[in-house]
Amino acid sequence: MKLEGSALRLTIFVGEDDQWHHKPVYTEIVHRAHRAGLAGASVIRGIEGYGASSRIHTNRLLSLSEDLPVAIIIVDAEERVRAFLPELDELVTEGLVIIDPVEVIRYVGRAAADRSAG
């Protein structure tokens, strides 16, 4: 898959401990994005933050907080990102979803990269 030019970045902020059917919400989002054929998804674990609860979560040793902020970032063509949004209605009960327009300079899927290397 080759993706260049205008695209959308979908960023979903949830808590690390948020669950969907006894597994992390971020894991379910990544698996659904994969099944939907989106270009890629990355999960980034925050070291400190707060959200709707206004409670600060941190990974510092003296803190008891384990529910750190997690961001799932997906970039793909606008129509593909927008088609995926209904999946989030079901999964994200507490969190923040952001859509930003971005410009992709270069993205080449593994299959294309393997062919060009050979």
pLDDT in tens, 71-118: 999 999 999 999 999 999 999 988 899 999 999 887 676 665 555 555
pLDDT given at position 46? 83
Q: What is the CATH number of the domain that holds 50?
A: 3.30.70.120
Lowest mean pLDDT among 21-25, 62-66, 94-98: 62-66
* Residue 28 banded pLDDT, cuts 50, 70, 90: very high
Helix, strand or coil for residue 49? strand
pTM given for the model: 0.80
* Distances, alpha carbon 59 to alpha carbons 14, 26, 65, 79, 108, in Å: 16, 18, 7, 37, 35
Structure token pair of residue 10: 């979908």
Domain that holds residue 71: 5-117
**Residues 85 and 103 sit within 8 Å (Cβ to Cβ):** no
Backbone angles phi, psi at 104, to 5 degrees: -90, 125
List Cβ neighbours of 90 (8 Å cut-off, separation of 6 or more): none
Report the chain's mean pLDDT, rounded to a whole number: 84
Length of the chain: 118
Residue 88's pLDDT is what? Answer: 96
Closest CA relative to residue 51, chosen from 26, 69, 27: 69
Give the per-residue pLDDT at 69: 87
Q: Domain total for the chain? A: 1
Owner of token pair 């698996």:
31
